Chains A and B, each alone.
Chain A
Amino acid sequence: MCSTRSLIRVCAWVDGLTMPWKDVIKQLLKRKLAMACLVAIVFCLFMAVTARLWVPDSDLTPNAGLDSVENLRDRRISAAASKLKKENEKLSDDEARAQAATEIDAEFKDNEPTVTGLERHYHPPGWFLAFDAGHPHWEKTGNDEAGTKNPPMPMDQRSWGVTDARFWRFPMGCDIDGVSVLAKIIRGLELAFIIGIVPTLISAFIATIMGLAAGYFGKWIDDIIGFFMSVLASIPLLLLLIAFIQAVKDSERISRWFESVGVGDDKKPIRLLILVLVVIGITTWVGLCRLIRAEVIKHKSREYVQAARALGCGEMRIIFKHILPNVFHIVIISFTLAFVGSVGLEVYLSYVGIGIDATLPTWGQVIKASTTELQRDPSVWWPLASATGALFVVSLSFSLFGDALRDALDPKLRT
């Protein structure tokens, strides 16, 4: 590193750095709104990474903790035992239970107790019920042992006191299956981050490579890449995604590759999700590529590039070490916007029914399920409200932070 040549090279590099990162960060820190958004984003990221700690898989099964087949069996056995005791006075408690148990087990062996036999009620958020003691949501769904509809919950069992554990059990209510909406939202946050980051990374990678190549080399490489960009940009994004996903969904080769990597047939939702994310990444790189290409063309004829070339730097070195750092701010800005776009796209795809399996607890699936839930009487509005609220918070913080970043990085666009 002591030779004159390498020193001059480093000077040329430093001279070409038009992006003063220290100033950028200082400017960002000054804006309070941007810092608040950054805190929100970091918090969401933390929750997403640790989501499995807060919400283990068991919390997402239907009727998690509310009612289960064992409880139903116990109730039936007690009822049958008391009936047996009434008929035959001499039976002791244990004998009656044992007899009842054999009867009920025999009955369950032939036909599984269906979900309608399980007792459950879709619980609105606890704080909401505190204001409404007579709310129809205290109706219990399902049928009791005799097969008649369950009576509404007795007054003394209704809990809305802040000191009651059941009040805090469902801070955002629970949905039709008895799964706490908060649990779904937290797991959905984890999935939302995956859905936001993976396609954006893929598309940023493709876009930078294509943009750098098209901008720097020009001529026929530019024409070819421009052709691909036009073809991809001409097709409406949603139709392209749908066509792509339909094409690769049942492909034999891709299934075989998945099996070899270890995501077998039983993990079908994850397979589909990975496919969808990759497809979104492959199809949305065009906008960023155009921006990068324009910027690279501007930088190509600057003096520092000429100086580097005069010093004997190879083409690859010039592109990746000199031009790329000066173009990178565009990638960062578009990252935040593309994150939001990707998450919104997932909601859209879930609604149309393509690509996201219904068993994944993403926010899009919650919103999709809420269309039927809203039609109920009384209407179940809290899953929709929670999912929209969570989506709103994430979108807002990323948008505002992206705006602040753009202001800090690109003074010309300041408003």
Chain B
Amino acid sequence: MFTYILRKLMYMPFILLGVVALTFMLFTVSTKPEALATIQLGEKASARSKYEWLATKGYVEFTERGREKLSKMEKQQIPARGTMLFNASILADLASERDYLKSEIDALAGEDPEDKDVKARLARLDLRRHKNEVESKAAIANARQTCLLEKAGQANLDAVAKVDDLGARKAAAQEALDKAKAAGGDTADLEKAARDAAADHEAALKEYEAALALVSRVKSESEKITKVEDIEPDLDYTNIFRQFVNYTADLLRLDFGDTRQGRAVTEVLWSGAGPSLALLLPAFLLSELIALFFGLLAAMYRKSSMDHTIVISSIVLMSLNGIAIIIAGQKFLASDWNYFPISGYSTGFGATRYLILPALLYVLLSFGEHVRFNRIIMLDEVGQDYVRTARSKGLNENQVLFKHVLRNSLIPLITRWAVAIPTLYTGSLILESFFGIPGLGYLTVDAIANSDGNVIRAIVVIGAVSFMLANLLSDVLYAVVDPRVRLG
């Protein structure tokens, strides 16, 4: 048996890798890394800090030019606030979208312009084209500005701006001098001031000319950026395999990231496990006991009216929709007749009153399927030879059922129970969200509503791991409980 367990345990990492790969593919298709950074760092974080975080995580790689730009931003040579960082993939997307829209609009140009469908399509395409244009123009303008800043330097741009200022000062000083001369006062200081201002202005003019030449040269160079394709990118998404490797490494370290509110996902999952288990463990035990009891009853009184009632009620309960049962139960038992609180939870033992109704509903929901399954298994056992032998030996019906049939029918049941354990952990999504119990199921529904990818990913991976372990456990239990079975 140990070799079997070992073999299965060896297969597990591959399947786990497959699960991780599947979730990775699904999540990379739906969320861009920038969205991940927004979740992690918050909405208000600057693009620069987001990209730096993405670089540490391995999602993004800076080019030579990008690293230069970053260091210049740090040394304050380029204003950090207004400068965009250009992502090669996003630029490529902008360009390809523009081309696609152009070709679509051209294709529609040949059609009847009065047709309602054509008009609607043209309107939609136009809207998208406008949006694309706006984004491209913003990118191009920013690229030009950055080029100007980088090549001409802030000092030169300041010089171009400064000369007017100095000119104004010179003119003011000259005016003051003239006024003083006209008034006939002491003009020595004013003359000195006027001469200084004129000298400053001359020096500034020289600087200005040099700067102007440089700026106009760089400006003509920056004017060359007319299309999105001309913009030099600063960073790019890394190879998808590298992203996957980093993602898996994170998972192995159990680093699932942060939720949108900023709490660590691991901590959130840990705090959610308690209420989930508090609800589902008793509910599971209760429902299994009741299903066992009724299955046994049905097998005991085979073909009697009790058997028929049990079969019919289990089929009826199976066909009724679970959500409708929960809604009706919550409305009548809690809202209208006030036997139970409608929703909510409290810590400690006070939580029991909040958990009774959900547990009852859980029993009702799982009653149909489980009773049917149990009944089939027990009827199978009751038809076996050893039961006939036991009866002919003289055992009474009770002994036959509880000592022989029950034990033998527990074999498939135990394997089913082992596989049901992971579902206890992942919680019952609907029950918890209806009754406001802050367990893992409620967490999942919340995460779906908020598009919180980290939480969903974590729960999927944990669910998969626990499912595989539970399968292995059920195989082993099967071999332990049934000596006829040889594993492997």
Chain B residues within an 8 Å CB radius of A234: 15, 19, 463-464, 467-468
Q: Is the CB of B19 within 8 A of A231?
A: yes
- Most chain A CB atoms below 10 A, which of B321, B456, B468: B321
User: CB-defined interface of A370-394 with B at 8 Å, one 1/0 digit per residue?
Assistant: 1100110001000010011001100
Q: How far is the CA of A209 from the CA of B464 in the complex (A)?
A: 25
B22 and A251: CB pair below 8 A? no
For A239, give its contact among B25, B319, B323, B456 (CB under 8 Å): B456
0/1 per residue, B451-474, Cβ < 8 Å to A?
A: 100001001100110011000000
Question: In the bound complex, what is the Cα–Cα distance between A396 and B27 (angstroms)?
Answer: 38
Given A244-B26, A249-B30, A236 contacting B467 (CB threshold 8 A)? yes
A351 on the B face (CB < 8 A)? yes
- A307 interface contact, C-beta 8 A: no
Tell me, in angstroms, the Cα distance from A367 to B321 when the chains sit together.
10
Q: B321 is contacted by which of A347, A352, A415 (Cβ under 8 Å)? A: A347
Q: Once bound together, how far apart are the Cα atoms of A300 and B444, in whole Å? A: 44
A310 CB within 8 Å of chain B = no
Interface extent on A, as a size class?
A: 35 or more
Give chain B interface residues in 24-73, CB to chain A under 8 Å: 25-27, 29-30
Cα(A371)–Cα(B331), bound, Å = 9
- As a 0/1 sequence over residues 330 to 373 of chain A, the CB contacts with chain B under 8 angstroms (1 = contact) are 00000000001000100110011110000000000001001100
Contact A415 B429 (CB under 8 A): no
- Across the interface, do B323 and A247 meet the contact criterion of CB distance under 8 Å? no
Tell me whether A395 and B319 are in contact (CB under 8 A): yes
Instruction: Tell me if B328 and A227 are in contact (CB < 8 A).
Output: no
A303-319: CB near B (< 8 Å → 1, else 0) gives: 00000000000000000
A371 to B329, CA, bound (A): 12
Are the CB atoms of B323 and A352 closer together than 8 Å?
A: no
Q: Does A235 contact B (CB under 8 A)?
A: yes
B23 within 8 A of A: yes
B322 at interface by CB-CB < 8 Å:
yes
Q: Are A247 and B27 in contact (CB under 8 A)?
A: yes
Chain B, 385-413, CB within 8 A of any chain A CB = none
Please tell me if the beta carbons of B319 and A236 are within 8 angstroms of each other in the complex.
no
- Known A234-B464, A236-B463, A244-B26: A352·B18 in contact at CB below 8 Å: no
Q: Is A238 an interface residue (CB 8 A)?
A: yes
Partner of A242, one of B29, B120, B448: B448
Decide if A243 is an interface residue (CB 8 Å cutoff).
yes
Assess the B19–A235 pair: CB atoms within 8 A.
yes
Interface residue? A152 (CB, 8 A): no
Q: Which of B15, B323, B327, B423 contacts A231 (CB 8 A)?
A: B15
Q: Is B217 an interface residue (CB 8 A)?
A: no
Whether B430 lies near A348 (C-beta < 8 A) is: yes
A360 CA / B139 CA spacing, docked (Å): 40
Interface residues of B in 311-345 (CB under 8 A from A): 315-316, 318-324, 327-328, 331, 335
Name the distance in Å between B126's Cβ and chain A's nearest Cβ: 13
Is B315 a contact of A400 with CB atoms below 8 Å? yes
CA distance A352 to B444 in the complex (A): 10
Q: Closest residue of chain A to B14, judged by CB?
A: A227
**B459 touching A248, Cβ below 8 Å:** no
Q: In the complex, what residues of A have CB within 8 A of residue B25's CB?
A: 247
Tell me whether A351 and B449 are in contact in the complex, defined as CB-CB below 8 angstroms, given that A231-B15, A371-B327 are known contacts: no
We find that the number of chain B residues with CB closer than 8 angstroms to chain A is: 48
When distances are taken between beta carbons in the complex, the residues of chain B under 8 Å from A236 are 422-423, 426, 460, 463-464, 467
**A residues less than 8 Å from B426 (CB atoms):** 236, 239
Q: State the Cβ distance, A389 to closest chain B Cβ, in Å.
A: 9
Tell me, yes or no, whether B225 is within 8 Å of chain A by CB.
no
Task: Determine the chain A residues whose CB is within 8 A of the CB of B15 once the complex forms.
Answer: 227, 230-231, 234
B445 close to chain A: CB less than 8 A: yes
Q: List the B side residues contacting A250 at CB < 8 Å.
A: 30
Shortest C-beta distance, A181 to chain B (Å), equals 15
> What is the minimal beta-carbon distance from A256 to any residue of chain B, in angstroms?
8
CA gap between A231 and B11 in the complex, in Å? 11
Question: How far apart sit A290 and B21, CA to CA, in the bound complex (Å)?
Answer: 23
Asked if A247 contacts B30 (CB within 8 A), the reply is yes
A113 interface contact, C-beta 8 A: no
Chain A residues closer than 8 Å to B19, beta-carbon distance: 231, 234-235
Within 8 Å of chain B (Cβ to Cβ): is A240?
A: yes
Chain A contacts with B in 152-203, Cβ cutoff 8 A: none
- B124 an interface residue at 8 Å Cβ cutoff? yes
B376: CB under 8 A from chain A? yes
Asked if residues B321 and A344 are in contact (CB atoms below 8 Å), the reply is: yes
Bound Cα distance from A414 to B445, whole angstroms = 40
- List B contacts of A351 (CB < 8 A): 323, 430
- Which residues of chain A have C-beta atoms less than 8 A from B320's C-beta? 388, 391-392, 395
Report the bound CA distance from A22 to B147 in whole Å: 82
Q: A347-B323, A353-B448 are in contact. Are A265 and B328 (CB under 8 A)?
A: no
Instruction: Let me know if A242 and B321 touch, CB within 8 A.
Output: no
CB distance from B417 to the nearest CB of A (A): 17
Which residue in A231, A244, A266, A340 is a CB contact (below 8 Å) of B18?
Answer: A231
Chain B residue with Cβ nearest A239: B460
In the complex, which residues of chain B have a beta carbon less than 8 angstroms from the beta carbon of A370?
Answer: 327
CA distance A391 to B318 in the complex (A): 11
Does A399 belong to the interface (CB within 8 Å)? yes
- Residues of A258-281 at the interface with B, using a CB-CB cut-off of 8 Å, are 264-266
Q: In whole angstroms, how far apart are the Cα atoms of A370 and B327 in the complex?
A: 9
Of chain B, the residue at the smallest CB distance from A229 is B15
State in angstroms the CA–CA spacing of A415 and B383 once bound together. Answer: 10
Closest B residue to A246 by CB, please name it: B30
Q: A239-B456, A243-B460, A351-B430 are in contact. Are A230 and B18 (CB under 8 A)?
A: yes
Roughly how many angstroms separate A21 CA and B9 CA in the complex, as a whole number? 44
CB–CB A246/B327 < 8 A? no
Contact A374 B460 (CB under 8 A): no
Q: A235-B463, A235-B464 are in contact. Are A388 and B376 (CB under 8 A)?
A: no
Across the interface, do A352 and B429 meet the contact criterion of CB distance under 8 Å? yes
Q: What are 16 inter-chain pairs, A to B, with CB distance below 8 A?
A: A230-B468, A231-B18, A231-B22, A234-B19, A234-B463, A235-B464, A239-B463, A242-B456, A243-B23, A247-B27, A248-B29, A352-B445, A367-B327, A388-B328, A392-B319, A400-B315
Interface of B toward A, CB cutoff 8 Å: 14-15, 18-19, 22-23, 25-27, 29-30, 117, 120-121, 124, 315-316, 318-324, 327-328, 331, 335, 375-376, 379, 422-423, 426, 429-430, 444-445, 448-449, 451, 456, 459-460, 463-464, 467-468
A243-B26, A244-B26 given. 8 additional CB < 8 A pairs?
A231-B19, A239-B426, A239-B463, A348-B430, A353-B449, A367-B327, A388-B328, A399-B315
Q: Give A residues with C-beta under 8 Å from B.
A: 227-228, 230-236, 238-240, 242-244, 246-251, 264-266, 340, 344, 347-348, 351-354, 367, 370-371, 374-375, 379, 384, 387-388, 391-392, 395-396, 399-400, 415
Closest 6 CB pairs of A and B: A231-B18, A395-B319, A388-B324, A234-B464, A247-B30, A396-B319
